[in-house]
Structure 1
Amino acid sequence: MSLMVEPRTGWTFRLLSRINSQGGHGHQRNRCLFSGPHGFSTPVKDCGVVLLLASGWGLMAQLPYLRRLIIGYNNYTTMTHRVHLVWQLDHIDDGASAKEFLDRALLEDTLDNVYIVAISIYYQKGHIDSSLRAPGNHRRVSFYEDRRPNWEEIIESELARKHNKVWTEKLLADGRSVPFEEHDCWTLVTVSTVTETRDQLRKQTWRFLNQRVRLRELAYQPPS
Structure 2
Amino acid sequence: MDIVAIYIIAAGGIFVAFFFIRTLHQLCGPWTRAGVLLHLTYLAVNLLLIFFKIDSLTGAGRRAGELALVNLVFPLSAIHLSYLADLLGIIWRSCRKIHRATGWMAVSLLSFYMTVALQTQSYIFPLREAAISLGLLVLLSLPLVRRLSYEIFLRVHQVFAGIFVYGTWRHLPSHSHASKIYLLVALGVFGLTLLSQSIVFLYRNGLFSGRGTPRAIVSFSVSEAEEDSVVNAVHVRVLLPRPVRVEAGQYINLWMPSVSLCSWMQTHPFTVTSWSKGKQDTMELLVKPRTGLTADLARYAPTDEQTEGSSISFLALITGPHGVSEEVGQYESILLLASGCGVAGAIPYLKKAIYGYNTCTSQIRRLHLVWQVESIDEMSAALTLLNRLLKDDIVDGGYILHISIYVRDGLGHKKFLLGDHKRVYLYQGLPDYQSIISLEASGNQIERLSNMWDEQGRMLVMVSATDELRDRIRGVVRDYLHEGVKLSELEYQPSD
TM-score (structure 2 length as normaliser): 0.39
Residue 142 of structure 1: aligned partner = 425
Residue 31 of structure 1: aligned partner = 314
Q: Post-superposition shift, 1:20?
A: 5.3
Q: Is 1:123–1:144's contact at 8 Å kept on the other side of the alignment? A: yes
Q: Post-superposition shift, 1:10?
A: 2.4
1:92-127 deviation digits (Å, cap 9, x = unpaired): 211012111111100100110111010000011123
Count of matched residue pairs: 210
Cα distance 1:204–1:31, how it changes in 2: closer, same or farther (>3 A)?
same
Of Structure 1 and Structure 2, the greater helix share is in 2
Residue 187 of structure 1 pairs with residue 467 of structure 2: no
Q: Post-superposition shift, 1:19?
A: 0.8
Cα distance 1:150–1:77, how it changes in 2: closer, same or farther (>3 A)?
same
Amino acid at match of 1:19: A
1:28-61 deviation digits (Å, cap 9, x = unpaired): 5313437454321111110000000000000000
Q: Post-superposition shift, 1:27?
A: 2.8
**Aligned mates of 2:395, 2:344 — CA distance in 1:** 24
**Aligned mates of 2:431, 2:367 — CA distance in 1:** 17
1:64-95 deviation digits (Å, cap 9, x = unpaired): 00111001100111101000000000112110
Partner SS, residue 79 of structure 1: coil
**Aligned mates of 2:422, 2:483 — CA distance in 1:** 29
Residue 212 of structure 1 pairs with residue 484 of structure 2: yes
Q: How does 1:51-62 map to 2 (within 5 A)?
A: 51-62=335-346
Residue 293 of structure 2: aligned partner = 11
Q: 1:155 aligns with which of 423, 427, 437?
A: 437
Residue 167 of structure 1: aligned partner = 447
Q: How does 1:61-72 map to 2 (within 5 A)?
A: 61-72=345-356
Residue 203 of structure 1: aligned partner = 475
Cα distance 1:149–1:37, how it changes in 2: closer, same or farther (>3 A)?
farther
Higher relative contact order (CA 8 A, sep 6+): 1
Larger radius of gyration: 2
Cα distance 1:210–1:26, how it changes in 2: closer, same or farther (>3 A)?
closer
What is the percentage of aligned positions where both structures have the same residue?
37
Residue 122 of structure 1 pairs with residue 403 of structure 2: no
RMSD: 2.9
Q: Is 1:191–1:198's contact at 8 Å kept on the other side of the alignment? A: yes
Residue 71 of structure 2: aligned partner = none
**Aligned mates of 1:48, 1:189 — CA distance in 2:** 11
**Aligned mates of 1:119, 1:34 — CA distance in 2:** 35
Partner SS, residue 159 of structure 1: helix
Q: Point out where structure 1 has 5 or more consecutive residues left out of the alignment.
A: none
Amino acid at match of 1:57: C
Cα distance 1:128–1:71, how it changes in 2: closer, same or farther (>3 A)?
farther
Q: Post-superposition shift, 1:141?
A: 0.4
Q: Point out where structure 2 has 5 or more consecutive residues left out of the alignment.
A: 1-216, 220-234, 236-285
